[in-house]
């Protein structure tokens, strides 16, 4: 399974909007949970008004593929 979180709307968003956009993605729930933890970490460090950007893509082994890889970025925006 190939998945992507690349969405122009996922750039420089409020925490609530970033989580809303993440929930709409077709990535596996475990990936969404991991990204949510990253967003929550930014809130813990910078406060609830932090703006965040989310970007990611990957391939999850589904029985036919023999490799799983991913790239994720959750970062504070100023």
Whether pLDDT at 65 is above 80: no
Sheet hosting strand 2-4, strand order edge to edge: 2-4, 51-59, 69-77
The total domain count for the chain is: 1
By percentage, how much of the chain surpasses pLDDT 90? 67
Q: What pLDDT was estimated at residue 63?
A: 76
For residue 39, the enclosing domain spans: 2-77
26 Cβ contact list (under 8 Å, min separation 6): 3
pLDDT, tens digit (0-9, with 9 covering 90-100), for 24-58? 998 989 999 999 999 999 999 999 999 999 999 99
């Amino acid at each position: 399974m190939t998945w992507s979180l690349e969405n122009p709307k996922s750039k420089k968003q409020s925490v609530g909007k970033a989580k809303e956009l993440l929930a709409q993605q077709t990535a596996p729930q475990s990936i969404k949970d991991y990204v949510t933890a990253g967003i929550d970490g930014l809130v813990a460090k910078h406060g609830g008004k932090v703006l965040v950007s989310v970007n990611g893509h990957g391939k999850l082994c589904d029985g036919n593929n023999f490799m799983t890889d991913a790239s994720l970025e959750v970062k504070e925006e100023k």
